[in-house]
Structure 1
Amino acid sequence: MRFSLISTVFLIGTAFAQAKLPSKAPCKQDGSLGVCESGLCVQTPGDAQGSCE
């Protein structure tokens, strides 16, 4: 039982880790809000967050 619970948590965590943000979604250069599909997060130095391009 313990093994199946650990396996389930691991699989769900892996699925969330691979999720990519769509275009125009809010993002941060450090990736703390997720990673853009395009790999490009445009954030100016004065802004708290940018947007995926």
Structure 2
Amino acid sequence: MEIKKGRNCYYIGEDENNYKGILQYVEEDHVIDAQHTIVKPEFGGQGLAG
């Protein structure tokens, strides 16, 4: 599994619009605030969010 960096996100999958799992974040003053972690249901239970 390769973790890729997108615009304000890290994701596993084809691209940030076609992901298996994604972590979306906001960065301000060198602080990263994780906003959402989403795993598509068909990939659940495989540890992608971890």
How does the TM-score come out when normalised to structure 1?
A: 0.22
Please identify which structure carries the higher helix content: 1
Which structure has the higher relative contact order (CA within 8 Å, separation 6+)?
Answer: 1
Please identify which structure carries the higher strand content: 2
How does the TM-score come out when normalised to structure 2?
A: 0.22
